[in-house]
Structure 1
């Protein structure tokens, strides 16, 4: 019990550090009108919020690029680290204020770092609580990982490409079910690329979309399905047997 209190205290301290850093960035931002402050002070929860924040940041990004990118990065990492919904809207915002190439690379990097932060928070601070709260989900994912322990990278990649298991749960459950941090980080970086591409591209044409449902057309769904199949194929037993049989045949021929 004492250990749990200590871990929760550390977690609360981490939250406080993030919030203090965000406040510091906000405090050092150039003078804003009351209306601009009301738009900028909240994290985006809808496309309307993204448009409001973008309308303010567009005025300052060129002259205050460093402080804008630091504030954006802190907000994104805050959501990812503590599994708070809303990062998809920040991904769209990246396309709106940083344009495609910077926005795409920035979001992929922040998604990976934030997911790794969540991984570490789970591993060192919340392991017992997560196991207690989600026993069936943890058990299911553990069994799936054990079946594919020689192809963990592909399996995590598959999880990132598909909504079979929510991303936030993949982040917090991975250290508990035995996935190593380096494979988790690498698979996450490449696994978030398709969704990031869609979101950042949407941010560039923000004024043309009216709902998040418009981000994914049938071509995007087909692409995600194909990528998921490619990722998961090496983890399937029939495929492994086929490859082993082929290699055995090649050995005999030589």
Structure 2
């Protein structure tokens, strides 16, 4: 490897390295602040800021949420609750989904630049089982991308990283992320919109609400619809046009 080639490779990996380092540092420095207890403690100041500078508060919230996602900091669920608490179910869900999508896109682009492009090219050039796996992924990208967003068991960071490593186009990733996270974002945003009463009672919200049957079953239904084209193609035994 020549010096110029090594320099270019290092430059491609730099964004991913910075995100990783920022995530580690942020987890140590901000871990205690990205919590429900912190939100409860500072809720009055946040509401006052929103009421006096609504546009700045909305823009700042989206930016900070996006950065938290990009650096994979803990507390993404609390951030979603905060969006609902400050801005209501609507437009709070729009702010939450936009911020999460922006942060996810940052991880995707950094991973694709640092590792994904070369790895996907190697998979395309390989033979045997590896190539078949890559061909299967390429044939069902839309469906698989929606599935990993709709199923609440897939960690958000994993769902951002894996598509970059298998050569998913950025447009498909961005669209499926923005639309796929909406159902879950709506659940937690609406929960956040009711935090005022929870604060008054001195309670904490049930963050496991998404696994309750009344929430989980519709999400699984959407996931089944997303998987339906793959099942039909498998039954027909042919590749999509």
TM-score range (shorter-chain normalised) is 0.7 to 0.9
Mapping for residues 230-249 of structure 1, pairs under 5 Å: 230-236=225-231, 239-240=232-233
Structure 1 vs Structure 2 CA RMSD = 3.5
| Equivalent residue runs for 1:127-166 within 5 Å | 127=116, 146-166=135-155
Q: Is the 8 A contact 1:91 1:196 kept in 2?
A: yes
For residue 164 of structure 2, give the secondary structure of its aligned residue in structure 1. coil
Q: State whether residues 94 and 203 of structure 1, in contact with CA within 8 Å, keep that contact through their aligned partners in structure 2.
A: yes
Deviations 1:144-190 (A, max 9, x none): 66324233112100110114532211212212202111111111111
Correspondences of 1:69-84 after superposition (within 5 Å): 69-84=58-73
Aligned to 2:166: 177
Once residues 64 and 142 of structure 1 are traced to their aligned partners in structure 2, the CA distance between those partners, rounded to angstroms, is: 54
Structure 1 residue 108 displacement after superposition: 1.4
What does the per-residue CA deviation read over 1:71-106, in whole Å, with 9 as the maximum and x for residues that have no partner?
211211111212223221111100100111110111
Matches for 1:37-76 after TM superposition, within 5 Å: 44-76=33-65
Deviation at 1:215, TM superposition (A): 5.3
2:114 is the counterpart of 1:121? no
Asked if the contact 2:89–2:189 (Cα under 8 Å) also holds between the matched residues in 1, the reply is: yes
Give the 3 Å change call, closer, same or farther, for CA 12–146 of structure 1 in structure 2.
closer
- 1:220 matched to 2:220? The reply is no
Say whether the 8 Å CA contact 1:148–1:235 is kept in structure 2: no
- Look up the SS of the partner of 2:50 in the other structure: coil
Deviations 1:22-67 (A, max 9, x none): xxxxxxxxxxxxxxxxxxx887533222223433211121211122
**Is 2:168 the partner of 1:168?**
no
Give the whole-Å Cα distance in 2 for the aligned partners of 1:218 and 1:231: 19
Stretches of structure 1 that go unaligned for 5 or more consecutive residues are 18-40, 132-140, 246-254
- TM-score, normalised to structure 2's length? 0.74
Gaps of 5+ in 2: 1-5, 23-29, 121-129, 199-203
Pairs within 5 Å for 1:79-94: 79-94=68-83
After superposition, what is the alpha-carbon deviation per residue over 1:165-218, rounded to whole angstroms, capped at 9, x for unaligned? 322112122122021111111111111011101110011111434341245432
Report the more deviating stretch, 109-118 or 210-219.
210-219
Q: TM-score, normalized by length of structure 1?
A: 0.70
State how 1:200-219 maps to structure 2 within 5 Å: 200-206=189-195, 207-208=197-198, 209-214=204-209, 216-219=211-214
